[in-house]
Structure 1
Amino acid sequence: MSESIPAAHHATILEVAKEAGVSKTSVSRYFGDERERLSRQMQARIAAAAKRLGYRPNQMARGLKGGRSQLIGMLVADIRNPFSVAVMHGVEQACREKGYSLLVCNTDNDPAQERDHLNLLASYRIEGLVINAAGQPSRELRAFARQGTPLVLLDRLLSDFEADVVGLDNAQAIDMAIDHLQHQGYDDVLYLSEPVAQASSRQARLQRFQQRMANEPALNGEAHSLDLDNETQRLPDIITAFLARASHSAPAILCGNGNVTLTVAHVLQDQRIPLGSVGLLGIDELEWCSLVGPGITTLAQPTDAIGRAAVQSLLQRLEKPQRQTPPRRTHYQPRLTPRGSTCRPDTTNQCDPVSQERP
């Protein structure tokens, strides 16, 4: 006869109180918003008792009872995107430092999933929401706003919903990229992006690229967008046609994000096109960019600062819920890291290995 496995025991608040020699109310205050009302000695006894017993407060129960869940929600459009992962790390670090826990949902750029996840997060009574929108979930976000839940839009704007926004200065990123390519002697630029209709940041980058091409007589340029999940097979033909057209100039490829940079690097490698002879510059710094051939020049986003700023914006709204201030936009400058992929072999221009910033 097999032995039954005893059910796991979850320590209760009463057991912690008994272990620490304090009242249940004191333990509730310690794990709630009134910890400072307790003496340092009492706080130390409760913390030690909770650790010995393995006690963890039930955040859901606390939220249902008192309206404070200590939970921040984060909705990302594509969790596979290195930008999303890096910003998420900054958000989580800032939440933990301030005593909040983070709930993350991924939408895979699907507006239907986005609406479902927003409804799910609402059921958890999150106290703030950071959202990297995939669609136009304005109705759901207005429901959060009516409840007094502060919101921060990450990297993407919504045309019919106003909230605090934190992200990259996209126009400046394109300016820095074009300026660097021109300085290195490239005069024909292919800009590649994922579908621009899905994100305002992509639209802003494409718009700035087109403006620069129209205003720079010494530059030629063209732009293409493609769905990397379903249209990657188009990319070799796009690059081949561009290089054929630019055969009498100095061509370069500017990639709108890290996913595009990786895909383009594979195509250039397959076609045995040496980096530098065709310039390559990518928005987003990824670890492998320094390892491919002579290294790939990048514009790095300050992802940790962006994530932390999003949380700070939420907490400022939470601390002063009655103070109605206009939505704020916080835009960060990228950092240029020149590498060999933008060093033309037929020129004397040197690639400065030190990261540069546009004044």
Structure 2
Amino acid sequence: MPIGSCDLWLMRSALGHGGIEVVRPRGVMRQRGMTIRTRATRLDVARLAGVSSAVVSYVVNNGPKPVAATTRHRVLEAIRALDYYPDEAARRLRGVGGSTIGYLVPDIRNPFFADMTAAFNRALRLRGYHLLLADLGDDDAQERSYLELFRTKRVDGVIAWQTASVNDLVDFLTSSAIPFVLVAARHPGASSIMIDEEAAANLAVGHLKALGHRRIAYVGPRDVTHHPQSRRPFVERALRQAGLPVNGEWFVDMAALDDAPTAARRLATAPGRPTAAIVHNDAFAIRIVSNLIELGSAVPGDLSIVGYDDLEASRYTRVPLTSIGYSKSDIGRLAIDLLLRRGEGATTREELTLPVALVVRASSARAG
């Protein structure tokens, strides 16, 4: 397939509304790995699980014969322990062009995931791959349906962003013998790409502290259990390390864009009045700035704001947004490199950590 002829395929979150639709696209590292082993075989898995190689085949192919739940679990554990991928899946992923990579995102309406999808599509297109996009639409219940559709479509690999059910996702893809890579999520059975969240929080806190701010708030998901991608723990740690107060009343819950008016009001009226806030992402921060201005607060006069992700839109908002940025093209390229290595038989679990940088704009200024 000639480079550049790739289509972007989109699977709507409401499967009953059109199913699959073709949409035309517009328009350094730290590595941590485990011990490298020789490529595992189906017989290796069978020996470790204490079953026959035929039973391993039934689990991997989901048939034709049923396998007891306890036996299936034992086989899956052995597959994970040995990083086993059947040869057929590896051969498909090593194929020259014309292949399809499944791409699972939480919500394409989020500008961050829109930007990232474009970056991934460009990176895949350069390799001659199609992108099959599964948009959960912020409805994690759709995940299983999309994973089954990936299997039905015989995708050659999957790149998946953090979801609430990462364990189920890993189990399904492992048992289906589909090579995969996680982004912004960790699992002992998967290779992953991570943002350097600790460095990001230190950059944001350090920037605001250098501007004279001592009362720094955080706006983002409060419930770390249901929002494992929450940056709150990193911000709390960075504040403590900087010798700044960590005040629970300055940690404002915001789990969705619709929460912005309430979050902005709480921020503007918080006891002890913080002079700056670090916001979970740029999409939230843009909305927070707008709502603060509506409430009569000046940004950055009354409150300096720092976001995350350095969205394209952050440059052109009413108050251009200071943000923690990183290379979106690098995320796409590295995730694809990891995925291809899995397809070529690499058995090292790899975690790549993407560096971050502070992009200073008009939303942050010296404390008054």
**TM-score relative to the length of structure 1:** 0.69
Q: Of 304, 307, 315, which residue of structure 2 is paired with 1:282? A: 307
Aligned-partner Cα distance in 1 for 2:283–2:226:
15
C-alpha distance 186-196 of structure 1, shift in aligned 2 (>3 A)? same
C-alpha distance 153-240 of structure 1, shift in aligned 2 (>3 A)? same
Task: Give the conservation status (yes or no) of the 8 Å contact 2:282–2:314.
Answer: no
C-alpha distance 211-148 of structure 1, shift in aligned 2 (>3 A)? same
Partner-residue secondary structure (3-state), 2:269 = helix
Query: Identity across aligned pairs (percent)?
Result: 22
Q: Deviations over 1:226-272 (max 9, x none)?
A: 23255344213311222x522xxx61011111221122111111022
Task: Give the conservation status (yes or no) of the 8 Å contact 2:105–2:136.
Answer: yes
Task: Give the conservation status (yes or no) of the 8 Å contact 2:260–2:291.
Answer: no
> Comparing 110-119 with 210-219, which one deviates more in the overlay?
210-219
In the alignment, residue 324 of structure 1 is paired with which amino acid? T
Find the counterpart in structure 2 of residue 200 from structure 1.
228
Q: Deviations over 1:269-301 (max 9, x none)?
A: 102222222111111212333334552211112
Partner-residue secondary structure (3-state), 2:163 = coil
Find the counterpart in structure 1 of residue 210 from structure 2.
183
Is there any run of 5+ residues in structure 2 with no aligned partner, and where? 3-87
Find the counterpart in structure 2 of residue 334 from structure 1.
356
* Aligned: 1:255 with 2:284: no
In the alignment, residue 192 of structure 2 is paired with which amino acid? V
Q: Deviations over 1:69-122 (max 9, x none)?
A: 711000001112222122222221222122211100111232210111111111
Aligned-partner Cα distance in 1 for 2:366–2:313:
21
Q: Of 237, 241, 248, which residue of structure 1 is paired with 2:265? A: 237
Q: Of 121, 129, 140, which residue of structure 2 is paired with 1:111? A: 140
Task: Give the conservation status (yes or no) of the 8 Å contact 2:179–2:343.
Answer: yes
Task: Give the conservation status (yes or no) of the 8 Å contact 2:115–2:311.
Answer: no
Shift of 1:345: 7.0
Q: Deviations over 1:154-200 (max 9, x none)?
A: 11235xx5211113111110000000000111111110113543443
Q: Of 171, 174, 186, which residue of structure 2 is paired with 1:142? A: 171
* Aligned: 1:86 with 2:110: no
* Aligned: 1:301 with 2:301: no
Q: Of 161, 164, 168, which residue of structure 1 is paired with 2:195? A: 168
Find the counterpart in structure 2 of residue 224 from structure 1.
252
Task: Give the conservation status (yes or no) of the 8 Å contact 1:109–1:134.
Answer: no
Aligned-partner Cα distance in 1 for 2:287–2:319:
17
Task: Give the conservation status (yes or no) of the 8 Å contact 1:83–1:303.
Answer: no
Structure number with greater Rg is 1
Partner-residue secondary structure (3-state), 2:286 = helix
Q: Higher relative contact order at CA 8 Å, sep ≥6: structure 1 or structure 2?
A: 2
In the alignment, residue 281 of structure 2 is paired with which amino acid? N
In the alignment, residue 154 of structure 1 is paired with which amino acid? V
Between structures 1 and 2, the one with greater helix share: 1
Aligned-partner Cα distance in 1 for 2:267–2:181:
37
Aligned-partner Cα distance in 1 for 2:227–2:157:
22
Is there any run of 5+ residues in structure 1 with no aligned partner, and where? 1-29, 32-62, 347-359
Number of equivalent positions: 274
C-alpha distance 236-83 of structure 1, shift in aligned 2 (>3 A)? closer
C-alpha distance 241-162 of structure 1, shift in aligned 2 (>3 A)? farther
**TM-score relative to the length of structure 2:** 0.68
